[in-house]
Structure formats: C-alpha cells, structure tokens
Amino acid sequence: MKWYNQKELSAGVKRLVISWYLYKVFGKKAAEFIAFLVSFFTFIFSKQIRKITAKNLNVIYKFTNNPNSKPTFLNCYKNVLNYALSLVDKMETYARTFDINKLDFAQDTDKEELLELMQNKKGVFFLCSHIGNVEVLRIFISNPKNFVWPANPHVNIFLSKNQCRVFKDFLSRISVEANFSTYAVEDTDITTAVEMEEKLKNGDILFMAGDRISPNTPNASFCADFLNRKVNFPVGSFKFAQLCGADVYFICALKDRGDFYKIYVQKFIPDNKLSKKQNLENMQKGYVNFLQQAVKIAPLQFYHFYDLFE
C-alpha cells in the first residue's frame, strides 16, 4: 500500500483544533497526555499499524544493528508515540512558543552558514523528509534575533493537497496568522518552479520532502538502495530543486533528549564538470545517504506508517 492510500495517523482538523485548545488552556503536559492516549489506542486497535511498524523496524534493525530499533512490541509503540508527541511540538511552533534554546545544530558551522545566507537574503531550498520533526526549524528561521534586516524570510512549504487543506482550515479556525505559504505538490509545474525561483532570489525559504512519491505521478520515481532494500523516491522533488537554482540543503531535526532537538544539515554541491543529469543523480544519492544516517541516529523517529519496503 502506497502512503497516499494509507489513512494518515495525523488527525483531521477537528482533532487538531481540540488538541490546540487543550494545549492553550491546560498546557503542554495535558496535550502530551492526550497524545499518549490517542497513540496508545490507535496502536492497540490497529493491526495494520502494528504490522507496518514492526516491518519497518525490522528492516532498520537489520541495517543498523541498533538495539533501540529492535522490532519489539514496546519499540513499535514508541515509534507511534514519538510521532504523536511531535505533533504537540508542532502546536508550539504554531503558537510561536517553542523555546529557541531547545534547538541545537549538530555542527555550529552549519548554523553559521545558514544564518549568513538568510541575513544576506539568499534563498535556501531544503530537501526534508518524514524523519524527525523538521517543522521546529521554523522557530530558528523566524527568530528576530537572527536577522539584521527588517523581515524574517518567508517560508514556502510543499505538502500533499489534503495536508494543505487541513493546515489552512486549522489555522483559520484557531485564528493564528500563518507566517508561511503552503503549496500542493500535486499541482506543481513549470509555472510553480518559475514562481519559486523568483521567491528564492528574494531570500525566501522552501521546504519540500524528497522521500514520498507523488500520488499523481507514482511512476516518476527513481529506485535507490535504502537500508539495504530497494525503495522508490520521487524524482520530481530533485528536478524541482535543480530548476529553482538556489542552494540545496538536506535537512532533518531529530529529538535528542527531553524536548530538545538537534538539527542535521548537509549541503549539496553540484560539480560544474558534470552534466545536469549526473548532478541530479548525485543529489539523489546524497539525499538517500543522508536519510540513512538520520535513521541510524533516531530509528524510532522514522515516521513512515505504510509499507515503504514492498
């Protein structure tokens, strides 16, 4: 079953709104308690979720030999619980109350490099994934202390059409001003690329996932060795990154300890001696390798609740 045929673990608008008001009225602990209950009953009563998480962790365990990724009943549940708790952290990013001091970079040089780009109004194209919780990075991007020019960079996020609808409806219901724009990946075309190229030239930030194939064009993919298995990735995300012409970075934010996150960044540097096609292939290989390293670090933050390894 492909990801777009799988009902998302993430809730619809109503459950998000309920979680939001629980967070606003009773605080984060109450929201986390609800996340625990929802994830527990989802896991207990969904045979499919238990089966998929066990299969995914089995693949990860064979690749990493990390005892924390053994496909035990407890680890499978922790995988689901971690995802539910990451949604609570996203609530804090919407409220802009997530503590910037809880974000750290694996390499200080990466932080300095990104700050320099943003302070100089140079756009950045982030190829992200469904590992960890990259949305907390928006706290870093929107931190006014980071910038010497008046406005923080505008963020453009590419999601599935259904996710765009859910986010827009959710934000309108809770009356939170969105400091970002969302775009449906299904509607992305050359016109969108031209628009994004112009935005990136003006210092915007762009996030696009590179680990889920498009529901509209499932055959527009490339096959790569990922965790010692053959997995299809969307070629469109990487071609789109090339078309936009901005600096491309692979990025993920992994929960480290408590509520702290560590941000991992790797810049893709094209080789001018190679053809466009060869550079595209190198970008794809670099991205897949980056994801493998992220899975090694945080195997229970691998949020693909469908049969990725068919």
Which pLDDT score, from 0 to 100, does residue 13 have? 66
Task: State pTM to two decimals.
Answer: 0.90
Q: Is residue 267 very low, low, confident or very high in pLDDT (cuts 50, 70, 90)?
A: very high
285 has a pLDDT exceeding 60: yes
pLDDT at residue 71 greater than cutoff 90:
yes
Q: Which of 144, 121, 139 lies closest to 263 in space, CA to CA? A: 139
pLDDT digits (tens, 9 = 90+) for 193-245: 889 999 999 999 999 999 988 766 656 889 999 999 999 999 999 999 999 98
Residue corresponding to tokens 């979720």: 49
CATH number of the 3-301 domain: 3.40.1130
Average pLDDT over residues 154-178: 73
Give per-residue pLDDT as tens, 122-132.
999 999 999 99
Enter the tokens of residue 2.
């492909």
Mean per-residue pLDDT of the chain: 86
Contacts 24+ apart (CB under 8 A), 160-166: 160/4, 160/184, 160/185, 160/186, 160/215, 161/185, 161/186, 161/187, 162/8, 166/10, 166/12, 166/13, 166/16
Instruction: Find how far residue 221's CA is from the centre of its chain.
Output: 19
Q: What is the pLDDT of residues 4-59, one digit of tens each?
A: 445 544 456 666 777 778 888 888 888 899 889 989 999 999 999 999 999 999 99
Q: What band does 299 get if pLDDT is binned at 50, 70 and 90?
A: very high
What is the reported pLDDT for 145? 66
Question: Sign of the C-alpha dihedral, residues 67, 88, 135, 16?
Answer: positive
Domain ranges (residues) in the chain: 3-301
Residue 128 exposed, middle or buried by CB count within 10 Å (0-12, 13-18, 19+): buried
Token duo for residue 266: 């790797």
Model pLDDT, residue 149 = 47
Residues 304/53, Cβ–Cβ less than 8 Å:
no
